[in-house]
Amino acid sequence: MRKITKVLLLATIVVLASCGSSKVYRTALSKIGVEHGTIPPKFIKKDEVLLIKNLDEELKQEFIKYYKGKHVFVSFKAIETIKKYQDLNTYPYIFDFDFADTGEYGKFHDFFLLDRKENKKYRTGFSSSDNKMVVKAYAKKMEEIRLNNVNFPETSSQGI
């Protein structure tokens, strides 16, 4: 009987955790896009490369599942010291995060895109402890916009 109770408890925890992840993903996805001001309208044209800072291995793997454009994982030091990364025409955007301190709930990742040419951060204003789902939502939305900009360069991504 105790084994059955433990198995049911574990199954319940797994189901509840996956429901929470789905909600985080849907919420993040609903807040990311050009129309929300969280991704620049001219995000990633054909020959541009996205720089990605500060992601751990798990988040890197999640990101590359969904974002298929040219990208490079870099450190802050690499951006500052390696000359090629200072070329804003090739590397105009950085995907990164700051820590958001929410007081009693602790620190969360506050993901953003930095437009290096305009020196403007595009933030969602949305943070979660489920960073994997937020990165998944960002990567999927950025890929959608990138494909639109590459396939239809004469139009902007205003409608996405």
Provide the pLDDT for residue 154. 54
Cβ within 8 Å of residue 41, ≥6 positions away: 34, 156, 157, 158
Provide the pLDDT for residue 140. 94
Alpha carbon 137 to its chain centroid, in Å, reads 6
Report in angstroms the alpha-carbon separations of 44 from 2, 35, 47, 68.
55, 16, 8, 12
Provide the pLDDT for residue 115. 96
pLDDT values of the chain reduced to their tens digit, one per residue, 160 residues: 544 433 333 333 333 333 457 888 888 888 888 888 889 988 888 889 999 998 889 999 999 999 999 999 999 999 999 999 999 999 999 999 988 777 776 677 888 999 999 999 998 777 777 888 889 999 999 999 988 876 665 544 444 4
The class level of CATH for 2-151 reads: alpha beta
**3-state class percentages of the chain: helix first, strand second, coil last, to nearest 5:** 50, 20, 30
pTM recorded for the entire structure: 0.77
Provide the pLDDT for residue 91. 96
